[in-house]
Amino acid sequence: MTRSRFRKTLDWVGTYLVWIIATLVVLFPIYWIFVVSARSRVELFGGPSLIQTSFFAKNYTKPLLDPTFRRYLINSIIISTTNASLVVILAVTATYALSRWRLKGDENIFFWTITNRMAPPAAFMFPVFLLFTRVVKFGDWSLFDTRLGLILIYCTFNLPFAIWLLKGIMDGIPIDLDEAALVDGAGTWTVLTKIIVPLAAPGIAITFVLSWVFAWNEYIYAATLTSVHARTVTTGLAEYVTVTGTNWGEMAAVSVIALLPALLFLVVVQRYIVMGLTFGAVKE
């Protein structure tokens, strides 16, 4: 074996070794959550072990048979899906306007929009709490502890990110297509729905997925702005920490259950994610 060939082989082995180590580091927490969810309380405190040979099904059956947890799961699905759909609709129309219509100060508008995403969510907690409990209030009804309230507050933080993501995708679509359609008699709405949206479908898909995952995983607003009716799966995890101790097995089982819808969702739209991330990366 020549020196150059040996060097290439060594580089190949090193590259794959780095990727294998990185994969193990990323996947180990997920594996460990499953291991903990499959153990009884006696096994959990009996000593550390990376290999799990038994399965304690009660950690899964008890939460699934609990009506409260099922309500949390339904709330998470409704809130995440509605939020992602609303964010995509608003982001597509907003980025189309910013990309195609030469508005005065459009660059400033775009930068101002993304600054809302730069601030930490905790910075808005106090004014948002007052808004939900005192300002937007009609008699006994308010946005506090409602699905609508969480959907709107998640839109506040997901919409700037979606606009930032779709802006580059819209700019990558030649404006000549719009002009040709307009010459043929198409209206603005027809151009948007029949030309722009189909061409930007991969980017729209990745925007929908990321907005859905962000809303699904969010905790701080769900814990602060809900009490009973609109609580989500992430807030339900905290209920397994009690004054008598932490039920690690059931908490880990609920974490696995909460992970499955997002994982299944990502597997279904995986090809759109890859297309969306590489959309517009190569230009002539």
Burial 36-71 (b: 16+ CB within 10 A, else e): bbbbeeebbeeeeeeebeeebeebbeebeeeeebeb
Q: What average pLDDT does range 68-96 have in this prediction?
A: 92
- Give domain 58-278's CATH superfamily: MetI-like (1.10.3720.10)
pLDDT for the residue 80 = 93
Q: Burial of 21 by CB count in 10 Å (0-12 exposed, 13-18 middle, 19+ buried)?
A: exposed
What is the structure's pLDDT at 275? 59
Of 3-7, 8-12, 157-161, 232-236, least confident by mean pLDDT is: 3-7
- Dist CA 46 CA 43 (whole Å): 5
Q: Is 11 exposed, middle or buried (0-12, 13-18, 19+ CB in 10 A)?
A: exposed
Average pLDDT over residues 158-186: 84
Q: How far is CA 23 from CA 1, 20, 30, 218, 267, in A?
A: 31, 5, 11, 25, 17
Q: Is the pLDDT of residue 131 over 80?
A: yes
Q: What is the pLDDT of residue 281?
A: 46
Instruction: Tell me if 158 sits within 8 A of 87, measured CB to CB.
Output: yes
Q: What is the pLDDT of residue 112?
A: 74
CA distances for 217 relative to 16, 38, 133, 232, 253, angstroms: 31, 23, 23, 9, 16
- The answer to whether residue 73 scores a pLDDT higher than 80 is yes
What pLDDT is attached to residue 273?
63
Q: For a pLDDT cut of 90, what percent of the chain falls above it?
A: 21
E runs forming strands in 21-130:
none
pTM above 0.85, yes or no: no
Instruction: Report the DSSP beta bridge partners of residue 245.
Output: 242
Q: Is the pLDDT of residue 187 over 60?
A: yes
Q: Are 94 and 167 in contact (CB under 8 A)?
A: no
Residue 173 reports pLDDT greater than 90: no
- pLDDT at residue 284, as a whole number: 43
User: In the predicted model, what is the mean pLDDT of residues 8-33?
Assistant: 88
Task: For residue 162, give Cα distances in angstroms to 21, 115, 189, 198, 208.
Answer: 32, 13, 20, 17, 8
What pLDDT, in 10s, does the model give residues 239-278? 888 877 788 888 999 999 888 877 877 777 666 666 555 5
Higher-scoring residue by pLDDT: 273, 152: 152
Helix/strand/coil percent split, the chain, to 5: 75, 5, 20
Tokens of 203: 């980017």
Q: How is residue 127 written in tokens?
A: 């004014």
